[in-house]
Amino acid sequence: MIRSQEEIKRFLEDEISSQELYEAILYFVNSVHIRNGEFEGNYYIIKKMDLDNFIIYAENIYPDDNHREIPYSTSIYKENLLNEINKKARANKYLLKS
């Protein structure tokens, strides 16, 4: 559980870094029209498994030898993810969206 919280914290630090990114991520997470898929952030990928479940992971791509590594990942429920995103946006003094 502690490692998962650390991963979410790192994700929030890297990805909720501007009002624009905050709104784009919030739209992806909240949208009922996006049933599954991926949101590629600066460093992290948010994988939407279904309307309520997400996997967040970092992705390192090495084009020289054509492979990628996923050093860590965590799963999170939609409501928990939205709470964490909005908490970070509030701390950054962004205009909150619903």
- HEC readout, 25-67: HHHHHHCCCCCCEEEECCCEEEEECCCCEEEEEECEEECCCCE
Per-residue pLDDT tens digits for 9-50: 999 999 999 999 999 999 999 999 999 999 999 999 999 999
Q: Where are the domains of the chain?
A: 2-89
Rounded to two decimals, the pTM is 0.90
